[in-house]
Copies of this chain bind each other. A is one copy, B any other.
Amino acid sequence: MAAFDSWMIAPISSVISIALGLFLFQYITGKDSGTDRMKQIAGWIQEGSRSFLKTEYMYLGVFVAVMAIALSLFLSVKIGMTYIFGTIFSALAGVIGMEIAVRANVRTANAAKRGGLVEAFPIAFRGGAVMGLMVVGLDLFGISIIYWMTGDPEVILGMSIGASTLTLFMKAGGGIYTKTADISADLVGKVELSIPEDDPRNPAVIADNVGDNVGDCAGSGADLFDSYVAAIMAAMILGGSSQIGYLETIPLIFAGLGIISSIIGISMVRVGKGGDPGKALNLGTYATTFMFGLLTYIATWYFGYDIEIWYANIAGLLSGIVIGMTSDYYTSINRSPALKTAESSQTGAAVNILTGFSYGLISCFPALLGIGIGSAIAYTLYGVYGVGIAAVGMLAIAGTIIAGDAYGPIGDNAKGIAEMSELGEEVVDITDEIDAAGNTTKAITKGFAIGAAGLTALALLASYQEIVKNLTGQTISFNLMNPLVMLGVFIGMSIPVIFSAMTILGVSKNAHRMIEEIRRQFREIPGLMEGTGKPDYAACVNIATKGALRELLPLIIFTISTTLIVGFVAGIHALGGYLSGAIFSGFFLAILMANAGGLWDNAKKYVESGYFGGKGSDAHKAAVIGDTVGDPFKDTAGPSLNTLVTVISQIASLFAPLIIIIRARIGL
Residues of chain B lying within 8 A (CB to CB) of residue A369:
490-491, 494
Residues of chain B lying within 8 A (CB to CB) of residue A504:
354, 357-358
Complex Cα spacing A504 to B357, Å:
9
A354's partner among B349, B362, B508 (CB-CB below 8 A) is: B508
Residues of chain B lying within 8 A (CB to CB) of residue A384:
481
Give the residues from 452 to 483 in chain A that come closer than 8 angstroms, CB to CB, to chain B.
458, 461-462, 465, 477-481, 483
B494 adjacent to A376 (CB under 8 Å) = no
A489 adjacent to B584 (CB under 8 Å) = yes
A480 adjacent to B580 (CB under 8 Å) = yes
A439 within 8 A of partner (CB): no
Could you say which interface size class chain A belongs to? 35 or more
A508 adjacent to B344 (CB under 8 Å) = yes
Residues of chain B lying within 8 A (CB to CB) of residue A479:
477-480
Query: Contacts A349-B349, A368-B493 given: A361-B501 contact, CB under 8 Å?
Result: yes
Give the residues from 486 to 519 in chain A that come closer than 8 angstroms, CB to CB, to chain B.
486-487, 489-491, 493-494, 497-498, 500-502, 504-505, 507-508
Complex Cα spacing A355 to B362, Å:
23
Q: Main SS of chain A's interface residues?
A: helix
Pick from A122-130, A135-143, A215-223, A624-632 the stretch touching chain B.
Answer: A624-632
A342 within 8 A of partner (CB): no
A486's partner among B351, B375, B576, B628 (CB-CB below 8 A) is: B375
Residues of chain B lying within 8 A (CB to CB) of residue A148:
none
A364's partner among B465, B494, B580 (CB-CB below 8 A) is: B494
A100 to chain B, nearest CB (A): 33
A514 to chain B, nearest CB (A): 13
A628 to chain B, nearest CB (A): 4
Closest-by-CB residue of B relative to A365 is: B494
Interface centre among A355, A490, A581, A628 (most CB of B within 10 A): A490
A76 within 8 A of partner (CB): no
Residues of chain B lying within 8 A (CB to CB) of residue A494:
364-365, 368-369
Complex Cα spacing A372 to B566, Å:
13
Complex Cα spacing A477 to B465, Å:
16
Complex Cα spacing A357 to B636, Å:
14
A625's partner among B349, B465, B481, B490 (CB-CB below 8 A) is: B349
Residues of chain B lying within 8 A (CB to CB) of residue A668:
none
A587 to chain B, nearest CB (A): 8
Complex Cα spacing A187 to B348, Å:
10
Query: Contacts A369-B490, A486-B372 given: A625-B379 contact, CB under 8 Å?
Result: no
Closest-by-CB residue of B relative to A574 is: B376
A259 within 8 A of partner (CB): no
Residues of chain B lying within 8 A (CB to CB) of residue A378:
483
Residues of chain B lying within 8 A (CB to CB) of residue A500:
358, 361
A588's partner among B371, B462, B493 (CB-CB below 8 A) is: B493
Bits for A15-33, please: 1 = Cβ < 8 Å to B, else 0: 0000000000000000000
Bits for A554-597, please: 1 = Cβ < 8 Å to B, else 0: 00000000000000000000001100110011001000000000
A463 to chain B, nearest CB (A): 11
Closest-by-CB residue of B relative to A581 is: B584
Query: Contacts A478-B481, A490-B369 given: A625-B350 contact, CB under 8 Å?
Result: yes
Complex Cα spacing A629 to B349, Å:
9
A267 within 8 A of partner (CB): no
Complex Cα spacing A378 to B486, Å:
12
A483 adjacent to B376 (CB under 8 Å) = yes
A353 within 8 A of partner (CB): yes
Closest-by-CB residue of B relative to A349 is: B625
Residues of chain B lying within 8 A (CB to CB) of residue A344:
508
A629 adjacent to B491 (CB under 8 Å) = no
Query: Contacts A493-B588, A588-B493 given: A486-B376 contact, CB under 8 Å?
Result: yes
Query: Contacts A481-B477, A491-B369 given: A505-B358 contact, CB under 8 Å?
Result: yes
A347 adjacent to B498 (CB under 8 Å) = no
Closest-by-CB residue of B relative to A585 is: B588
A73 within 8 A of partner (CB): no
A590 to chain B, nearest CB (A): 13
Residues of chain B lying within 8 A (CB to CB) of residue A347:
187, 508
Q: Which chain A residues have a beta carbon within 8 Å of chain B's beta carbons?
A: 187, 344, 347-351, 353-355, 357-359, 361-362, 364-365, 368-369, 371-373, 375-376, 378-380, 384, 387, 458, 461-462, 465, 477-481, 483-487, 489-491, 493-494, 497-498, 500-502, 504-505, 507-508, 576-577, 580-581, 584-585, 588, 625, 628-629, 632
The 3 closest A-B pairs by CB, nearest first: A372-B490, A350-B628, A379-B483
Contacts A369-B490, A371-B490, A584-B584 known; 13 new A-B pairs at CB < 8 A: A347-B508, A350-B628, A351-B508, A361-B497, A362-B498, A362-B502, A365-B497, A372-B491, A380-B483, A477-B479, A478-B481, A497-B588, A581-B584
